Amino acid sequence: MGMGLVQVAVTLAIIMLLVKPVGTYLVAVFDYGSGRTKLDRWFGWAEKPLYRLAGIKEEENMGWKGYLKAMLLTNFIMLVIMYAILRLQKYLPLNPDGIGNMPPAQAFNTAVSFMTNTNWQSYSGENALSYFSQMAAITFPMFTSAATGFAVAIAFIRGISGKSDALGNFYVDLVRAVTRVFLPLSFAAALFLVFQGVPQTIYGAITATTLEGGRQTITRGLVASLESIKHLGTNGGGWFGTNAAHPFENPTPLTNLVHIVSMMLLPTALVYAFGLMIRNKRQGWAVFGAMSFIFVAMLALVMASEYRGVPALDAAGIHGNMEGKEVRFGIAESSLFTAVTTAATTGSVNNMHESLTPLGGLVPLAEMMLNNVFGGKGVGLLNGLLYAILAVFICGLLVGRTPEFLGKKIEGKEIKLASIALLVHPFIILAPTALALLTPQAVASISNAGMHGLSEVLYAFTSGAANNGSAFGGLNANTDFYNVGIGLVMLVGRYVSIIAMLGIAGSLAVKKTVPQGMGTLRTDTGLFTGILIMIIIVIGALTFLPALALGPIAEHLAMP
Amino acid sequence: MKAFMTAFRISALLLVLCGILYPLATTGAAQLLFPKQAEGSLIHVGSVPAGSELLAQETASPGRFQPRASMAKYDPTASSGSNRAVGTKDYVEETLAKASDWRKQNPGLAEMPADLVTASGSGFDPDLSPEAAKAQIPRISKASGIPADELTKLVDRLTKGRQLGLFGEPRVNVNALNLELSKRTP
């Protein structure tokens, strides 16, 4: 346990050291500025032809409605292309293992899953996708869905810190996120992964004669190029069914480190970038502090719980919970991965979450329910700011001050939009879970009986709503009910909050900035960080405690 | 319509860039720099592929090191963890039964390493903890006739420490162990 704590501390220190430089770089990436910047010179040669061929007017600055329209249209077109590729993969090139077409409900689920940055998988890649599908219907949206989330978050910040309803140009933000952030980082990370043992080949599976004379079909593919963007873009969908627990996706503790740092790199830096863009670094750190506090508390819970293991087995001399974990990672690196992947809404796993101890399994569930502990590309920051706006409003009501955030008055319209975004999340988790438990066909998919079975279903819809993608893998989710149900939940979970937040940005953008006075509640102080944590916990607990009490908490109390 | 065409064209262009050019360029560079790893770290016996260093294989012989249990039956075309709920009475009973099986086949086992009685996450965990490998030595020695202290030395020699002295857990690769054994007793 001692060495485990040291590893975790060193990993978190590496992440902290990268926050400032990467955050500063992000601000430069999305700075339209006047004249050519250094970055324009470095990346312009690749970007200019894209703008020209696509007919994008770089200088066009969009209002929130225009920005939203361009985003939705582009996402919809990509979704249709992905669906078509999955349905037709048998007839498309690069299919060395002879995989058939994907059925309609599953193809719908998969296309939605990857376009919404969820990466929920009701299939196993090694037997359901051709290499071409893995490239053009999986790796491709891993870039664009992450870039979409990024673009929206940047546009939101421009809105609340700006003076007019000009949120930027969606296409330019989309392209820049790809060319200046994701492509170069993914390429470099992929090569390191191959160096450590991740395959990267266009050749199909190879049949080996094992040391005992048996046969083993070794599936492989263009794995490394998918893995790197999977984590940098907080996507999470694996090439193989068992994701980053598979030795071909995550062969060594060092690849595990790269995966973890990649996941946290951009979501944490974005919070810092937010502080820079609104010219109030303290504000960035205030939000960062609240997110970090919840993250560390969650991490401590899952780690302690996994080291403790099952008491009845511990008494018999079997220490710690190694079910569903890999020896090279052990309990510390597995627990850290679990806390990170659900904080950053990645959803990849390096251990089987279904086999976590009850309280260990509560951690990923709770992080996805809160959905704002750093969070995936952009959207996590949006959710964090949503709670910040709410905190300002509630405090304003309590002490009779005018609610203001960043010098803008928070009024009825903003609170209505924020409430919609906030209430949709529990609704699309709890209502479908209840529906599933009333539907015999859906109940038949549950693999573990009793309280753990409830957690399986609850986890599935929470994962979809939070656009996370991790799973309690025992649930057979490849049925029409879950493919369509979770597909719809993912769509609502992604786009409703984005639409509401862009609406808030558009509304705040045109408001006059009011000077700070005696009546202003400062939002960049330690006090506000504390209030924010309280608000997040109170709202989260009020909403989800009953469901958690019936699932993991009851299971913990009944553990032998 | 103009807006639609713009959105369509940028989608298609990004698909070519991110979905085709990027993975293929990465493949080219990877094959050039690290050809062995890029092909899946294959093991060859003579010229015949005998598996991958990174994937555990089905091992039945008592004279060989046995890898961790696999819910995928060591078949990489269908990777899987056990997805068992660990906080249940059934699970505890089964695990205790597995432990007593191990004790029967491996006399003299005091502490039971947790990785021996649990299924791995991937189904192909290529490693054992050094304790789990050493726990099997009396059985292997009896079945293969290789003296126990030689086997202990072999495990020690092939044990990898934490990476950079810090990350991960100490481990020993089961295929590497068994390759050495098959050189001694085919």
- One DSSP character per residue, A434-493 reads HHHHH-HHHHTT--S-HHHHHHHHHHHHHHHHTT-----TTS---SHHHHHHHHHHHHHH
Give the Cα separation of A391 and B169 in Å (integer): 43
**Quick one: CA torsion of A109, A448, A544, A528, rounded to 10 degrees?**
-80
pLDDT at A175: 97
Distance from CA of B103 to the nearest CA of A (A): 13
Considering only A44-53, A154-163, B146-155, which range has the smallest mean pLDDT?
A154-163
Alpha-carbon gap: B149 to the closest alpha carbon of chain A (Å): 23
* Residue A22 to residue A271: CA distance in whole angstroms: 11
Subunit contact B121:A351, Cβ cutoff 8 A: yes
Across the interface, which of A55, A256, A447 has its CB nearest the CB of B9?
Answer: A55
pLDDT at A61 over 80: yes
Q: Which residues of chain B have pLDDT under 50?
A: none
Contact B54, A326 (CB under 8 A): no
β pairing state of B159-160 and B171-173: antiparallel
Interface contact flag, A211 B75, Cβ < 8 Å:
no
Q: Which of A325-334, A391-400, A523-532 has the lowest mean pLDDT?
A: A391-400
pLDDT over 80 at A518, yes or no: no
Q: Give the pLDDT score at B67.
A: 97
Structure tokens at B26: 């990465």
Inside any domain, residue A231: yes
What residues of B are in contact with residue A202 (Cβ under 8 Å)?
Answer: 24, 27
Q: Which residues are CB-contacts of B4 (< 8 A; sequence separation ≥ 6)? A: A73, A77
Residue of B nearest to A553 (CA): B87
pLDDT tens digits, one per residue of A71-81: 999 999 999 99
> Rounded CA gap, A232 and A194, in Å?
16
Q: Which of B48, B86, B175 sits opposite A323 (nearest CB)?
A: B86
Picking from A52, A219, A220, A323 by the largest number of B CB atoms within 10 A of its own CB, the best residue to mutate is A323
CA nearest A384: which of A284, A479, A478? A284
Q: What kind and span of H or E run contains B50?
A: strand B48-52
* pLDDT tops 70 at residue A391: yes
d(CA A500, CA A425): 13
- Residue A374 confidence (pLDDT) above 90: no
Closest chain B residue by Cα to residue A144? B14
Give domain status of residue A435, yes or no. Answer: no
Banded pLDDT at A401 (limits 50, 70, 90): confident
Tokens 């569930």 correspond to A365
- Pinpoint the alpha helices (H) of A325-411: 330-343, 358-370, 379-399
Tokens for A402, please give them.
């005018």
A539 CB neighbour count, 10 Å cutoff:
17
List C-alpha distances in Å: A126 to A98, A219, A240. 11, 6, 5
Q: In this model, does residue A63 exceed pLDDT 80? A: yes
Structure tokens at A522: 């400062």
CB contact under 8 A, A256 and B31: no
Cβ separation A207–B49 shorter than 8 A: yes
Task: Tell me whether residue B107 is exposed, middle or buried, using C-beta atoms within 10 angstroms of its C-beta: 0 to 12, 13 to 18, 19 or more.
Answer: exposed
Q: What is the pLDDT of residue A376?
A: 63
Closest listed residue to residue A332, CA positions, set A353, A304, A352, A365: A304
Q: Is the pLDDT of residue A307 over 90?
A: yes
Q: Which two tokens stand for residue A34?
A: 């006047």
In the predicted structure, residue A35 carries a pLDDT above the cut 80: no
- Computed over every residue of chain A, the mean pLDDT equals 93
- Residue A84 resides in a domain: yes
Mean pLDDT (whole number) for A343-349: 90
User: Around Cβ A230, how many Cβ atoms within 10 Å?
Assistant: 31
The predicted structure's pLDDT at residue A385: 87
HSE (side-chain half, CA atoms, 13 Å) at A410: 27
**pLDDT category, A378, cuts 50, 70, 90?**
low
User: Residue A1: its pLDDT value, please?
Assistant: 78
How many pairs of residues across A and B have Cβ atoms under 8 Å apart?
367
Give the closest of B17, B61, B124 to A212, CB-based. B61
Residue recorded with tokens 């709770």: A366
Tokens of A197: 């043992």
Residue A372 has pLDDT above 80, yes or no: no
> DSSP assignment, residue A550?
I
Alpha-carbon distance A236 to A228, whole Å? 10
Domain range for A126 is 21-277
Percent of chain B scoring above 90 in pLDDT:
91
Are A220 and B40 an interchain contact pair (Cβ–Cβ within 8 Å)? yes
Buried b (16+ CB within 10 A) or exposed e, A465-497: bbbbbbbbbbbebbbebbbbbbbbbbbbbbebb
Q: What pLDDT shows up at residue A172?
A: 96
Do A318 and A311 meet the contact criterion of CB atoms below 8 Å apart? no
**Angstrom distance (rounded) from CA A336 to CA A338:** 5
Given a contact cutoff of 8 angstroms between Cβ atoms, the answer to whether B38 and B30 are in contact is yes
**CA A294 to centroid of chain Cα atoms:** 16
pLDDT for A519 beyond 80: no
Residue A242: list chain B partners with CB under 8 A.
72, 79-81, 121-123
Check residue A408 and report its DSSP letter.
Answer: E
CA angle A231, A235, A238 (to 5 degrees): 80
Q: Which chain B residue lies closest to A2 (C-alpha atoms)? A: B166
Confidence of residue A396 (pLDDT cuts 50, 70, 90): confident
Q: Is A279 left (phi over 0), alpha (psi -120 to 50) or beta?
A: left
pLDDT band at residue A377 using 50, 70 and 90 as cut-offs: low
Tally the domains of chain A: 1
pLDDT digits (tens, 9 = 90+) for A453-477: 999 999 999 999 999 999 999 999 9
Mean pLDDT across the stretch A334-355?
Answer: 94
What pLDDT is stored for residue B105 in this prediction?
87
Interface test with A, best of B116, B120, B127 (most A CBs within 10 A): B120
Residue located via tokens 């330019």: A172
Q: Which one-letter amino acid corresponds to residue A498?
A: I
Q: Inter-axis angle of helices A379-399 and A140-161, to 10 degrees?
A: 30
- Inspect the interface and report whether the beta carbons of A324 and B57 lie closer than 8 Å: no
Q: Which residue of A has its CA nearest to B121?
A: A324
Q: Is residue A330 in a domain?
A: no
pLDDT at A540: 87
Task: Find how far residue A157's CA is from the centre of its chain.
Answer: 19
pLDDT at B51: 96
Q: How far apart are CA B137 and CA B63, in angstroms?
A: 9
Closest CA to B120 of B171, B52, B158, B155: B171
Q: What is the mean pLDDT of residues A496-505?
A: 92
DSSP state string for A237-271 = --SSTTGGGSTTTS-SHHHHHHHHHHHHHHHHHHH
Instruction: Residue B177: list chain A partners with CB under 8 A.
Output: none
Task: State residue B13's pLDDT score.
Answer: 97
A370 in a structural domain: no
Closest CA relative to residue A27, chosen from A19, B69, A35? A19
Q: What is the mean pLDDT of residues A533-550?
A: 92
| SS3 sequence of B125-141 | CCEECHHHHHCCHHHHH
What does the alpha-carbon distance between residue A541 and residue A535 come to, in Å, rounded to a whole number?
10
Predicted pLDDT of residue A34: 63
Say what the pLDDT of residue A41 is. Answer: 86
Residue type, B3: A
Report how far residue A170's alpha carbon sits from residue A498's, in angstroms, rounded to the nearest whole number: 14
Closest by CA to B116, choosing from B90, B96, B145, is B96
Question: Do the Cβ atoms of A452 and B87 come within 8 Å?
Answer: yes
Statement: residue A100 has pLDDT above 80: yes
Among the listed residues B92, B83, B119, B120, the one whose alpha carbon sits nearest the alpha carbon of residue A452:
B83
Query: Are residues B81 and A53, on separate chains, in Cβ contact within 8 Å?
Result: no
Residues A414 and A412: their CA atoms lie apart, in Å, by 6
> Mean pLDDT, to the nearest integer, of A499-503?
92
Burial of A166 (0-12, 13-18, 19+ CB in 10 A): buried
The whole-number average pLDDT for the span A377-386 is 79
Distance from CA of B39 to the nearest CA of A (A): 6
For residue A209, report the phi and psi dihedrals to the nearest 5 degrees: -100, 115
Asked if residues A46 and A182 have their Cβ atoms less than 8 Å apart, the reply is: no
Lowest mean pLDDT among A153-157, A377-381, A494-498, A521-525: A377-381
Residue A243 in domain: yes
